[in-house]
Structure formats: C-alpha cells, structure tokens
Amino acid sequence: MSKLTDVPKRILIGRALRSDKLGETLLPKRIALPVFASDPLSSVAYAPGEVLLVLSVAGVSAYHFSPWIAVAVVVLMFTVVASYRQNVHAYPSGGGDYEVANTNLGPKAGLTVASALLVDYVLTVAVSISSGVENLGSAIPFVVEHKTFCAIAMIVLLTVMNLRGVKESGKLFAIPTYIFVVGVFAMILWGAFRGLVMGDAMKAPTADYTIHAEQGGLAGFALVFLLLRAFSSGCAALTGVEAISNGVPAFRKPKSKNAATTLALMGGLAVTMFCGIIVLAMTTGVKMAEKPATDLLHNGQPVGAGYTQNPVISQVAAAVFGDGTAPFVILAAATALVLFLAANTAYNGFPLLGSILAQDRYLPRQLHTRGDRLAFSNGIVLLAGAAVILVYIYGADSTRLIQLYIVGVFVSFTLSQIGMVRHWNRHLTTENDPAKRRRMHRSRAINAFGATFTGLVLVVVLLTKFSHGAWVALLGMVIFYVTMTAIRKHYDRVADEIAAADSPDDEVARPSRVHSIVLVSKVHKPTLRALNYAKLMRSDSLEAVSVDVDQAETKALREEWERRGIEVPLKVLASPYREITRPFIEYVKSLRKESPRDAVSVFIPEYVVGHWYEHLLHNQSALRLKGRLLFTPGVMVTSVPWQLDSSEAAKVRARKRAEWNAPGSVRRGPVAAPKKEKAATKK
C-alpha cells in the first residue's frame, strides 16, 4: 500500500496514522494545554493594548487606572475558570456551553448559546489573524503596510489547509505555544530583573510621546463609563476559555479532572502574562492612542497618518530586549504564530459544535457523522468567507474588530453559568449524601457568583460597545438563530410526516407482487450484467425494455437479442419524438394502473466513470429517467454499476476522501467506546 513518494512525507509528519487508531491519540495535559489554550493565551497579545487604548481617550493621566482594570480582569478570569471547572466535572461529554444551556434552560437558550459561539468562531478568526499580522508587522514592516491583503491571504491559507484535511496535531500546537509562553515569561522576568535589580530605565519606543486627550478631565459618570469600556476591552483576554469544556472527551483519563487542572493552569498563565505585560507597559512608558494619527504627539506634533502603532507586547519587548534583537524577533514571530494557531482553533471548533448541533437537528444531519468532507467543507468556507468579509470591511484593524468580539463569549458564559445553577438545584432535590450535598452547594455558589459576574459584564459590554460594533455580532447571532430554527422545524415536520404508525400494516400499502424491468439500449457487458442481477432477484416477472429512439439501432438490438437467445423477453417502446423518459414513464404507469397493488422494480445499468467530463458523456439519459421514476409511486430503482477502466482514478480519489481527517477530530476525541454487545459484528 505504501508508495515510495510517501517516504519524505513520513519523515516530515511521522508514521501514517490509521484513522481507526485515532483512539490512541487521547491528549496528555502537556499537549492538551497548548491545543486548547492557544486561543485564550494568545489574547494577551492584544488585550492589554486595548485597555490602554480606551484609557488614552482621557489622556495619559488615565493610564494609572490600568492596574485596577487588570485586577478586575484577573478576578473575572478566576471566577470564570472556577465556574468552568464545575462545568467540566458535571458535563464530561464535551457538549460545553450549548449542552449546559440546552439541558437546563431549554432549547431556546441552547440555540442562543450556539449562535453566540458560531459568531465568536468567525470573530476568533478575524481578530486573531488581524492581530497576528500586526505583531508580525512590528518585525517585518511590509506585512503591516499591506495589512488587509496579508490577513486575507493568511485566512485563505488556513482555509486551504483545513479543506485539504491537515490533521490538528497536538505537537504542532505545542511548540509555538510553549515558545510564546516562555518568551513572555522571560520578558517579564528579565524586565523585572533589569528594572528592580539593575535599576535600568527601560524605555518603550513611544516613551517620549505624549497623548492629546480627546476628552480631558473626565469625571463622574463619564469617567466610570470610560473605565467600564476599558474593562470590557480587557475582557478580550477571556475569549476561548470555554474551549476546554467542549473538549473533555479528548483528555486522557481521568478526563474531567485532567480537564479541570488544565483549565486552572491556563487561567494562571493567562492572568500572570496579562498583568506582567500591563505593569511592564506602565514601567516602560508605552503610549497608545485610539486615533494615533492625530492624538499621539511627538515633540508636540501629531505623528500623522503614516505612523504605525505597534502592539503593546512588541513595544514592551523592544524596551526590555532592545528593538530588532534576536529575542525581540523570536517573540514577535512566536506571538504571530500563536495567534494564527488561535485562528485555526476556530476551524477545528466549528465542526465540533456543528456535529453537536446536527445531532439535535439544528444543522444538516450529515454534519453529525465524522469525515463527511463535503459537509465540513461548506462549513469551513462559510466560516472563512464571513471572516474575510469582516477583515476586509474593518481593514484588518484588530482594535475595531474587538468591539464585535466578547459579546458572544459573555452571552454563552452567562447562560451556561445560569444553567449550571439550575443543574445543581435539580440535583440538590434528589441528593441525600451530606458530603455530596456540601460539594454541590459549594459548586452552586461558585456558578451563581460566576453567572452574576459574567451577566454583569455582559450588560457592561452591551452598554459600552453596542454602537461601537457589538450590534454586528448580535445581528450575526440572530441570523444563525433563525436559520437553525428553520432547519429544526423542517426536520420535525418531515419526522411527523414519515413517523410509522403503531400497527405495522395499515400505513404502507404492502405491494403483493413485483414486476421487474431492465432498461436496455444495446447488448453489451453492462446490460448483460444488469440482466443477470435482475434474474438473481427472483421477482414475479421480468422483462427487458428498450425505447426506440433510432430505428436502425433498435433493429440491431432485436437481432442481437435473438442471436444470443437471451431468454428474458424484450419489449420495444415506440418513441416518435426520440424521447426516452416519457414513453418509459408512461409504460411504468400503465403497468401500475393494470395492477395497482404490484410494485415495479427498474434495473438501470450505470457506468462508473473516473473524470467529471465523462459524466457529461454517460448516464445522462438514465439519470434523468431515474429522477422522474422517483416521483412515480410504487417504483424502486436499482443501479447496476459497471466500472469503466477510467473509474480506477475516481476510486482512488474516493478512498482518499474517505481517509480525510475532519478538522477538530483531535479536540473532539473518540466516541465513548461502544458496549461489547453492540459492537459485535457477525464475521
């Protein structure tokens, strides 16, 4: 089976993995952390900067509020992590927020969460790619000069990779994520060492700049509102935290415990990095303005439209390591890479959520099964298309895109935590063990606090960001919600329509006999095979039928039939207007009219071809006929395939497609092993 050309590939990506060995790829914590945490960890690359940006509206003096905002974000992060640790234990099946809301608050809440998550996947791609391009641009100016183009090219690249079925590999995720984490920690520690021990005065590139306060001397309500807006932006650091609760089945055993530990680890890393970067930004005098062209001043002059405002993490790195030094470049590259990986998680998360929604019939059924390439492809293209549109409209500006983000995250946080409170309430009514009750009370308290806090944040986000762009995200949620409701309604209607009545006999008029017809055009191998197969099915009567579209051919057919002594009777249908479908359909209808209780079985020899253009040359009349026959009651249609030599190519392609790895398979984990008795397959 293995070919010579496989060798270099094997060397590059390791031993080929049979897809039914997927079960062995359960994730240890050290791999699960980077797989699930690249999204939340990468957000420290933009969240601190967003806080400073908002504060700058009130002038540099407002920057001194930033540590307090950082504290609020940290408290929120701890709350959310603590809450989700409860989720992970209570719902180990990987349904995540959708399952929690659906089970405890009903299908409407579940669908709202699902819509919010779908919108967030789009925004994860748009924001992460844009921010990644900005970070890469701090080292490579070309990239930032052609920001929109580079961002869209990156989305296209990720899309192609995922369409081709690049397997999500834990190791692939691990290396850049760990380099990024180690790099940021090294920066924080080295910065602390230089500042506190050596007493160096580290200066960010913008340390000497000043900011023109758009709204100087803010006080009272206006100031509170600004601080709340800054806090909302800081909450971008929390995006992606819920990912682990969707991925519990992918963990090694004990699954829930390992997932909870990974969640805690991730939360700890994220807050440390977030705070460290904020403090270093303060120390090194980073200045960021919402409208740098006019509000950022150098020697008293606005810097103008040509100025590129580098991300806070890169300015801090320049101050600590020195601009353009090796550690600076490595950190910038690792930051960009981890942001691109974060975007890739959306490509993996989408089919995961899609398969769960499909199971509940909110999306086409085939999304539920794995490896259905066509279905996943449509989803991936939808995701990428929406992200490209957003990136194009917002000019790949991560700051403007972040205004749309976060709403969805907090919708699902809040509903999920409310659902968890209900969950504990329900369990408390039946649980009698005092130790368990105590634990449940504790969990309920945590989730209740989480629900209150995240709900509050959701209100703050809506209030402070609605007009800044959050309405776009809400509109997207409504579109998803309406579409999925419509699909579910359709499935429900069909299910009612086809539901079997209780008595097995009275609903489907059972035909008593079956009359078989083989469609014949010429005597050749496919026809002979179809005749042989039709004979095997011992129906009550069997005849061959040909439509006379060409007199010479029909004559030749009759003669050949006689010469070979084929014992199946041959009927020729007249067709004065060279049609095939109409005379055939009318003949079948006349048979049905004669004996309405009989079924008709039509055997059609079908060519299996290898190339798309061959489809134009073969089978067309037969397929058209089949399409019409399906509308005729009491008819079944049997394709008897004949594989042309050229079909070999298509067969190989089909096998490849079957071995295609759906994105998200690693983080989805295998289905819980089926019980023995069910798995039994007769040899």
Task: Show contacts with a second copy in window 154-173 (CB under 8 A).
Answer: none
Q: Mask 460-489, x = binds a second copy (CB under 8 A)? A: ---------------------------x--
Residue 674 found at the interface with a second copy (CB under 8 A): yes
The smaller minimum CB distance to a second copy, of residues 366 and 425, is found at 366
Binding segment (CB under 8 A) for a second copy, from list 192-200, 275-283, 384-392, 634-642: 634-642
532 binds a second copy (CB under 8 A): yes
554 scored as a contact of a second copy (CB under 8 A): yes
> Measured in Å, how far apart are the chain's first and last C-alpha atoms?
24
| Other CB atoms within 10 Å distance of the CB of residue 653 | 11
CA dist 682 and 84 (Å) reads 43
Q: Per CB under 8 A, does 265 bind a second copy?
A: no
By CB under 8 A, tell whether 377 contacts a second copy.
no
Task: Answer yes or no whether residue 506 interacts with a second copy by CB under 8 A.
Answer: no
Rule CB under 8 A: is residue 426 a binding residue for a second copy? no
d(CA 544, CA 553): 16
> Residue 441 or 510: which CB sits closer to a second copy?
510
Answer yes or no whether residue 541 interacts with a second copy by CB under 8 A: no
Selected binder of a second copy within 426, 438, 441, 524 (CB under 8 A): 524
Neighbours of 140 (CB within 10 A): 15
Contacts 24+ apart (CB under 8 A), 150-154: 150/396, 151/391, 151/396, 152/388, 152/391, 152/392, 152/396, 154/129, 154/340, 154/343
| Cβ distance to a second copy smaller for residue 436 or 597 | 597
Q: DSSP readout, 27-44?
A: BPHHHHHHHHHHHHHHGG
Q: How far is the CB of 334 from a second copy (least distance, A)?
A: 34
Check binding of 356 to a second copy (CB under 8 A): no
Q: How many residues form the binding site for a second copy (CB under 8 A)?
A: 115
The site map against a second copy for 97-116 (x = CB under 8 A) is: --------------------
Task: Give the Cα separation of 605 and 608 in Å (integer).
Answer: 10
Rounded Cα distance, 20 and 197, in Å: 56
Query: What is the Cα–Cα distance from 341 to 640, expressed in whole angstroms?
Result: 47
599 binds a second copy (CB under 8 A): yes
* Structure-token match 């960010």, residue found: 204
Applying CB under 8 A, among 18, 197, 498, 612 the residue interacting with a second copy is 498
* 647 near a second copy, rule: CB under 8 A: yes
Residue 359, burial from CB neighbour count under 10 angstroms (0-12, 13-18, 19+): middle
Q: Does 18 bind a second copy (CB under 8 A)?
A: no
CB of 534 to a second copy, least distance (A): 9
| Shortest Cβ 494–a second copy spacing (Å) | 6
What residues form DSSP beta bridges with 635? Answer: 600
Query: Binding residue for a second copy (CB under 8 A) from 79, 159, 355, 399?
Result: 355
Q: Is 3 in the site for a second copy (CB under 8 A)?
A: no
Residue from 366, 475, 492, 556 touching a second copy (CB under 8 A): that is 366
Sign (positive/negative) of CA torsion 131, 133, 137, 143?
A: negative
Judged by CB under 8 A, does residue 511 bind a second copy?
Answer: yes
- CA nearest 407: which of 123, 110, 656, 170? 123
Q: Give the binding range for a second copy (CB under 8 A) out of 40-48, 81-89, 198-206, 605-613.
A: 605-613
Question: Taking the alpha carbons of 9, 14, 15, 21 in that order, is the dihedral positive or negative?
Answer: negative
Where does 296-372 have alpha helices with state H? 312-321, 326-359
381 is a site residue for a second copy (CB under 8 A): no
The DSSP annotation for 98-118 comes to HHHHHHHH-HHHHHHHHHHHH
Confirm or reject binding of residue 30 to a second copy (CB under 8 A).
no
Cα distance between residue 467 and residue 382, in whole Å: 26
114 or 580: CB nearest a second copy: 580
Which residue, 64 or 524, has its beta carbon nearer to a second copy?
A: 524
Among residues 489, 513, 597, 656, the one that binds a second copy under rule CB under 8 A: 513
Which of 205, 302, 327, 364: binder of a second copy (CB under 8 A)? 364
User: What is the nearest approach in angstroms of a second copy to the Cβ of residue 97?
Assistant: 21
**In this structure, what token pair is assigned to residue 239?**
């995006």
> 296 — alpha (psi -120 to 50), left (phi > 0) or beta?
beta
Which of 527, 544, 588, 663 binds a second copy (CB under 8 A)? It is 527
Q: Is 601 in the site for a second copy (CB under 8 A)?
A: yes
Select from 59, 603, 663, 667 the one that contacts a second copy (CB under 8 A): 603
Closer residue to a second copy (CB): 182 or 630: 630
Residue 303, both tokens: 């810097």
Distance CA 101, CA 4 (A): 51
Q: Closer CB to a second copy, residue 197 or residue 501?
A: 501
